[in-house]
Amino acid sequence: MPVTKSAQGPQGAVDLKLDLRGPPENAKKLQNKDSSFLNGNPSESPDSEKTKGITEFQTLVHLLKSNIGTGILGLPLAVRNAGILMGPLSLLAIGFISTHCMYILVRCAQRFCHRLNKPFLDYGDTVMYGLKAGPSAWLQNHAHWGRRIVSFFLIVTQLGFCCVYIVFLADNLKQVMDAVNSTTNSCHYNETVIPTHTMDSRLYMLSFLPFLVLLAFVRNLRVLTIFSMLANISMLVSLIILTQYIVQGIPDPRGLPLVASWNTYPLFFGTAMFSFESIGVVLPLENKMKDARRFPAILYLGMSIVTAMYIGIGALGYLRFGNDIKASITLNLPNCWLYQSVKLLYVFGILCSYSLQFYVPAEIIVPFAVSRVSKRWALPLDLSIRLAMVCLTCILAILIPRLDLVLSLVGSMSSSALALIIPPLLEITTYYSEGMSPLTIIKDVLISILGFVGLVVGTYQALDNLIQPTDHLTISNSTIFTQ
């Protein structure tokens, strides 16, 4: 989350995703805690927090960093799965539709805040009240399931981010260690490096496990924000170095297909949805602005910048490396210390971000479980659940050690639901009783159908590729350097 990912990244500003959790009592407590921390004065009341909210520029920065994470590094491979023409055009379309769905969510939340005289509603509350306002009596009676569905997909999304992070950490560190003895100081001459294979990537995943457990045990939001700052700085520096490299020496692109096989397009869709998963942060951001009326303009500006970055990195990365592009573009960098430092900086940034992404599902699951035991067992149960969740993400990463397919699977399965399926249906249930244009209803239905088809087909294609006994696993995660 990603945060939400945040929530980077996603994936990114996870400190802004804390308003998304239930049950309602815990969500309200976390909302007040998060707001007071963000504004720098824990003793201020919610009203004064709203008055002294964040500026438009701060909102833009939070929105940008909630989108930039591991997803952007997988977009060049995603563009290969769609084609050099179809990929950028599809990224543009998905960016526009995702941004529109974010605006729908904000608009519906504002409507229920006005109706119910509430200062803030999170994603789950908005869906719950949307079902209560719907035309179906059955949906009204089961409206509480709306919050549960949102919480479920949020848990799946954030834990999926954590799995992606573990695979990314292992792949990049393994590549650095495999070639450490032949890494040079010069990045200007051509050579092919044959790496010395060290450990299997799964052993690298296990080696990260103790550090991930310690990070997951950090429950103080202020400490986690320090990790967030370090992660943002390291990833920003590495992205700048990465960008200046891929724009150099782009070969003739005429040999690249304009449109790739439709069998691989679902993998593109899943990776793209994974990258655009920041819908979880829009309501907390809108709530914390000094002037919330300016939020739609900030939202469209920020997501336009993000979409342009995604198209640029995805298209240029594919143009630069062609069919040799790997699951993460960092794995294509030359074997010199400057570009090895890019991988190490990103490894450090993602390692710091793990605890931030982990915080969201932990704050949904842990309070629910702890509330059912005595105070004496609260802390042991809290730590035990966190340990089990970290081990679960590590086990899943070991079972699915392909970064490209994990990205696509998480994006197709959960990000599609949160970002494309639920918001349009929410708009229909919110405004149907007030009268809606038939064109608006058709538009919302088509977006939801698009999200549902992407969910089913993308998830099926990712799972099908995972269970096929092919040699692609070795190729995808192999450590090969070409300068």
Distance (Å) of CA 248 to CA 245, 251, 319, 321, 326? 6, 9, 11, 11, 18
Residue 103's pLDDT is: 94
Confidence category of residue 183, pLDDT binned at 50, 70, 90: low
As a whole number, mean pLDDT of residues 226-230 equals 77
Residue 403's pLDDT is: 78
CA 378, CA 198: separation in Å to the nearest integer? 42
CA 7, CA 152: separation in Å to the nearest integer? 17
* Contact (Cβ atoms closer than 8 angstroms) between residue 166 and residue 355: no
Residue 469's pLDDT is: 55
Confidence category of residue 435, pLDDT binned at 50, 70, 90: confident
- 38's enclosing H/E stretch is helix 24-39
The string of DSSP codes covering 309-323 is: HHHHHHHHHHHHHGG
CA 137, CA 177: separation in Å to the nearest integer? 60
Q: Which two tokens stand for residue 383?
A: 């730590």
Count of beta carbons in the 10 Å neighbourhood of residue 347: 22
Q: Which two tokens stand for residue 192?
A: 């092919």
Q: Which CATH class is domain 14-482?
A: mainly alpha
What DSSP designation does 200 have? -
CA 10, CA 310: separation in Å to the nearest integer? 13
As a whole number, mean pLDDT of residues 413-427 equals 91
* Contact (Cβ atoms closer than 8 angstroms) between residue 225 and residue 34: no
Residue 196's pLDDT is: 60
* Share of residues in the chain with pLDDT > 70 (%): 82
Q: Which two tokens stand for residue 137?
A: 């009596």
As a whole number, mean pLDDT of residues 269-286 equals 85
* Contact (Cβ atoms closer than 8 angstroms) between residue 19 and residue 29: no
Is the confidence at residue 15, as pLDDT, over 80?
Answer: no
* Contact (Cβ atoms closer than 8 angstroms) between residue 315 and residue 77: no
What DSSP designation does 191 have? -
CA 181, CA 201: separation in Å to the nearest integer? 18
Query: Which amino acid is located at 178 in the chain?
Result: D
Domain extents for the chain?
Answer: 14-482
CA 211, CA 215: separation in Å to the nearest integer? 6
Q: Which two tokens stand for residue 284?
A: 């907390």
Closest CA to 239 of 98, 333, 337: 333
What DSSP designation does 380 have? H
SS3 state at 395: helix
Closest CA to 398 of 477, 343, 479: 477
Residue 190's pLDDT is: 45
Is the confidence at residue 184, as pLDDT, over 50?
Answer: yes
Strand partners, 184: 336
CA 439, CA 455: separation in Å to the nearest integer? 24
Report the predicted TM-score, pTM, of the whole model to 2 decimal places: 0.78
Is the confidence at residue 379, as pLDDT, over 80?
Answer: yes
As a whole number, mean pLDDT of residues 395-409 equals 85
Higher pLDDT: 394 or 262? It is 394
Distance (Å) of CA 402 to CA 71, 126, 389, 468? 14, 36, 20, 13
CA 73, CA 83: separation in Å to the nearest integer? 17
Q: Give 190-206 pLDDT, tens digit per residue.
A: 454 555 666 778 888 99
Residue 171's pLDDT is: 87
Is the confidence at residue 31, as pLDDT, over 60?
Answer: no
Closest CA to 6 of 409, 211, 305, 285: 285
Residue 335's pLDDT is: 79
The alpha carbon of residue 371 and the mean position of all alpha carbons in its chain are separated, in whole angstroms, by 29
